[in-house]
A = this chain, B = another copy of it.
Amino acid sequence: MSSSLPDFNSPNASIRERMEALIREKQQKITSSLESLDSGFKFKFDQWDRPNGGGGLSSVIENGTTFEKGGVNISVVYGNLPPQAVEKMRADHKNLGDANGNGVKFFACGLSMVIHPRNPHVPTTHLNYRYFETWNPDGTPQTWWFGGGSDLTPYYLYEEDAKLFHQAHKDSLDKFDTKLYPEWKAWCDKYFWIPHRNEGRGVGGIFFDDFDVKDPNEILKIVESMFDSWLDAYMTIVNRRKDTAYTEEQKQWQLVRRGRYVEFNLVYDRGTKFGLQTPGSRIESILMSLPTNVSWVYNQSPEEGSEEAKLVKVLQHPIDWAV
């Protein structure tokens, strides 16, 4: 961890320094905001080092009154990517190159979080923003990109929540470029699709990767704005729903739906798979995305016309929530 680095918020700092400063600031802001919605439970911070360079700061809340489990993790890692790893990553990152077959040096930092509320009327949410940069072994810049997004996974469908979440992201993105929201919304629906269930993980949000077609200073502003849109929207939604009464059956439905969340994360999520395959990665920080309590019930499908069936229908047929 580069705690001795200069003032990252300075416009003269490098993009990677400023991205690191941004995720550190947002980790504090997000954890303290969420704590304000829970009675007495606090995030526990946990610093860790990566054997091959860098490290991270995980913060986790468990068994809270509002949040059953939540993890907000930042990592700042750097080192060498061997030729094989470069080749693997090239499938998803078009500009990543290795002209002389010697591998590249890399720097990556990001904030990754998942919040699983206790009340089945409050949606689970996920957010991740990351920055990646590489150099040739001689120190000349090779490539860079931003990636990330955020999405919402309700257990019961409140259309006004889905609309609020999407509209907040659209309104912010439109200020930068009206092409971004439609593209990133569609990407999100596609990325968080669970093929074997023929349904989405949730009601979507935004997702992008390999983004390098704007000035990186502007992308930093977009990312900052997305952090804020997410926080405003999610705080509003949690406040709306956290005290809604629920039945044992509704809680049970939440546990079964969380099984789908686990299925997506372990079977399809590229970030999780990459983390599990990378020697030296911190497994507990990767798998803190998994909920505390999960259930799998054989061959269960909701009764036609029920609230549960209404949700599933929307997951199977993604909707344009923003106007």
Contacts and interface: CB of A to CB of B under 8 A. Distances in A.
18 contacts: A46-B299, A60-B298, A62-B297, A69-B296, A69-B298, A71-B298, A197-B283, A262-B262, A262-B266, A262-B294, A266-B267, A267-B267, A267-B276, A284-B298, A284-B299, A292-B295, A292-B297, A294-B296
A238 to B, nearest CB: 21
Contact of A293 (B196, B266, B293): B293
B296 A291 contact: yes
A290 B283 contact: no
A287 interface: yes
A28 to B, nearest CB: 19
A288 interface: yes
A137 interface: no
B267 A196 contact: no
Contact of A62 (B62, B287, B292, B298): B298
A54 interface: no
Contacts of A299: 46, 60, 284
A100 B273 CA distance: 36
Interface residues of A, number: 30
Nearest to A62: B298
A75 to B, nearest CB: 15
Smallest CB-CB A-B distances: 9 pairs: A266-B266, A290-B296, A196-B276, A284-B299, A294-B294, A60-B298, A196-B283, A266-B267, A288-B298
A107 to B, nearest CB: 24
B276 A287 contact: no
A46 B290 CA distance: 31
Nearest to A44: B298
Contacts of A298: 60, 62, 69, 71, 284, 288
B259 A290 contact: yes
A103 to B, nearest CB: 23
Contacts of A71: 298
Given A71-B298, A267-B273, A287-B296, 9 more contacts: A60-B298, A60-B299, A196-B283, A259-B290, A262-B266, A262-B294, A263-B287, A266-B267, A267-B267
Interface in A139-165: none
Interface string A295-322: 1111100000000000000000000000
Contacts of A283: 196-197
Interface in A251-304: 255, 259, 262-263, 266-267, 273, 276, 283-284, 287-288, 290-299
A214 B183 CA distance: 58
A139 to B, nearest CB: 33
Contacts of A273: 267
Contact of A266 (B255, B263, B288): B263
Contacts of A60: 298-299
Contacts of A292: 295-297
